[in-house]
Amino acid sequence: MTAGRVERDGVAAIRPVVRVGAPTERRNPHSFDLDLMSTRDVLTVINEADRRVPAAVAAVLDEIAETVDLAVAALRDGHRVHYFGAGTSGRLGVLDAAELAPTFNSPRHWFCSHLAGGPDAMWRAVEDAEDDERGGAAEAAECVGAGDLVVGLAASGRTPYVLGALAASRERGAATVLLCANPEAPAAGSVDVFIGVDTGPEVVTGSTRMKAGTAQKLVLNTFSTAVMVRLGRVYSNLMIDMVATNAKLRGRMISILVEATGCAEEVCRVALREADGDLKTALVALVSGAEVPAARAALARSAHQVRGALALLAS
């Protein structure tokens, strides 16, 4: 670590400088002449680098599966899932958590996202926020409880804000996961599950909004979608817990009923209306042939699991 000098309110101040040795900071030999290439060649180099990401994610599916099982157990027991991240990693966590409620009608408290620097950091870089290890620890201490699952998001695997949050979460009895693009991260041994996606050096050296960010987006989508599937918020491959907040989504509800039941569109419209707009209730009623009150009661008895409700009605 070395020090850098910066001017603050007319007074010179010393700030720490860290040289990170993670793979994400190394130079990519395929893009040495990037600034001399044609536009088409620049795009080709980026695209060829991006092709590495899905394979890198495939290599850590076992670790993602372990994280899914931890999350499902936590949520079923009334606990929560937390994302802690900074910069691009943190913003991707915010995005993933924000999309779960409208897509799966999940309770908003299930997934909690924490971004170094607070809400303003979604739109602009907040100086030194990611270096605030104590800030990450304090934030975790305020909101993480025993039995929760805490997922740390850090491209390099060393972000102090994230590591501080993970350490404090462990002390509070939460399960911890570190998702990064550095398989060599020293913090791997201090979490319950380590997901080190080997995306290699970026096309633009150190720009982890590229492959590392893409990998984190894929992992988070895979993780949270699988959690919702395991919790019964998908029937077959259909979104059955979605919130119809606009005309397109109301139309999608009808399409889902048609696909799931094989019934005519008008029959599905009537069933949805009789179920007061509740897609699950309409679906169970149409598939089982039961009346809406019976379908609603079966869902209540099966923790709102469609297949469980259908099994109850069949018996």
Rounded Cα–Cα distance for residues 234 and 228 (Å): 7
H-type alpha helices, the chain: 39-50, 52-58, 61-76, 87-104, 133-143, 160-171, 211-230, 247-261, 265-274, 279-288, 292-301, 306-314
Rounded Cα–Cα distance for residues 41 and 28 (Å): 15
**How does DSSP classify residue 183?**
T
- Whether 142 is catalytic is no
**How does DSSP classify residue 30?**
G
**Of the listed 99, 133, 259, 274, which one is catalytic?**
99
The two structure tokens encoding residue 65: 């599966």
Other beta carbons within 10 Å of 200: 17
- Whether 274 is catalytic is no
Among all residues, which ones are annotated catalytic?
99, 130
